[in-house]
């Protein structure tokens, strides 16, 4: 039985760590804020005081952190994973970060004998709780097979994309589509309402046709109920879009619609709405159209 460490217990990370624990893996956890650690310790996990201590105690260490600098610090910084490295350790990063950062971390950890997998996920808080996430993996295939039993506690679809950084490239592609769906959903809801059609009936009608997607299946009921809480935070969607655009510039790829979507999510952050769900981008569209989306009474 693999000994597992988990660093980063936010909305997604805590649920994923809990599923690993429920699957029977011995679990060591670390997080900047203590409440999530205490919660998992009460369920059977062990607490560690630093990323280095986590790494020392486990066979595979997972991270789930906000951005590239956070992952780099936890992996390579003082008292980081690299300080607790030992032969056979595997590092799995579930964060969404720049592919170039993932490659740099893999190279540095490889120098001390640690195999690194970039393994971002998709499926939101619902997928994290239910253990049904999609996991996109870059790095050594043999290392992936060693940790696959743990990943199967978190997700239903696990795909090896290629070498280091390729999991993050797949996640960037995923987030291009996610942002487009959130914005398109907001646009169609506002259009329907302002043009005089019940947006709930419109969603009911088009979900059975070519417009069907996860976003239309999951998000409208929450919006109609007045629930704009995350989910997946809009500020994280904005951050992901910045990663996408920076990566696109590196490779000379024009992404015109992603650039527009980035501006809409940056507008949310600028207006103090960044902690809301990414589907709450409808708030920006409401302002532009001077109408508020109908909610259930």
Tell me the C-alpha distance between 181 and 186, whole Å: 8
Print the SS3 string covering 230-278: CCCEHHHHHHHHHHHHHHHHHHCCCCHHHHHHHHHHHHHHHCCCCCCEH
Phi/psi zone of residue 197: left (φ > 0), alpha (ψ -120 to 50 degrees), beta?
beta
Tell me the C-alpha distance between 42 and 23, whole Å: 16
Question: Which residue is associated with the tokens 């039993």?
Answer: 149
CA atoms 215, 220, 221, 226: torsion sign: positive
Residue among 171, 219, 233, 239 flagged as catalytic? 171
Angle between helices 199-206 and 166-194 (to 10 degrees): 130
The contacts of residue 145 (CB under 8 Å, 6+ apart) are none
CA-wise closest residue to 61 among 16, 4, 8:
4
At residue 217's C-alpha, the angle toward residues 215 and 223, to 5°, is: 70
> Tokens at residue 154, please?
């978190």
Contact at 8 Å (CB) between 86 and 3?
no
Residue 156 designated active-site: no
- Hey, which residues are catalytic here? 171
């Amino acid at each position: 039985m693999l000994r597992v460490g988990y660093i980063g217990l936010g909305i997604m990370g805590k649920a994923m760590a809990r599923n690993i624990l429920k699957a029977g893996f011995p679990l060591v956890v670390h997080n900047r804020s203590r409440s999530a650690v205490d919660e998992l310790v009460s369920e059977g996990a062990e607490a560690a005081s630093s990323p280095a201590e986590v790494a020392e105690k486990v066979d595979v260490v997972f991270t789930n952190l906000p951005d590239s600098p956070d992952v780099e610090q936890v992996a390579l910084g003082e008292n980081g994973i690299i300080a607790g490295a030992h032969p056979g350790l595997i590092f799995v990063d579930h964060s969404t970060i720049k592919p170039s950062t993932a490659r740099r971390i893999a190279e540095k950890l490889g120098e001390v004998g640690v195999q690194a997998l970039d393994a971002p996920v998709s499926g939101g808080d619902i997928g994290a709780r239910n253990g049904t996430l999609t996991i996109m993996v870059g790095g050594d295939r043999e290392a992936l097979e060693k940790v696959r039993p743990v990943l199967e506690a978190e997700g239903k679809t696990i795909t090896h994309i290629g070498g280091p950084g390729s999991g993050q490239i797949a996640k960037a592609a995923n987030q291009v589509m996610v942002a487009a769906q959130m914005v398109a959903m907001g646009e169609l809801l506002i259009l329907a309402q302002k043009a005089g059609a019940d947006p709930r009936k419109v969603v009911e009608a088009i979900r059975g046709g070519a417009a069907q997607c996860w976003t239309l299946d999951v998000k409208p009921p929450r919006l109609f109920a007045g629930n704009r809480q995350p989910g997946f935070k809009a500020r994280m969607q904005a951050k992901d879009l910045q990663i996408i655009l920076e990566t696109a510039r590196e490779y000379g790829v024009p992404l015109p619609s992603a650039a527009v979507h980035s501006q809409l999510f940056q507008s949310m952050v600028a207006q103090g709405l960044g902690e809301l769900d990414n589907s709450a981008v409808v708030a920006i569209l409401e302002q532009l159209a001077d109408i508020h989306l109908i909610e259930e009474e």
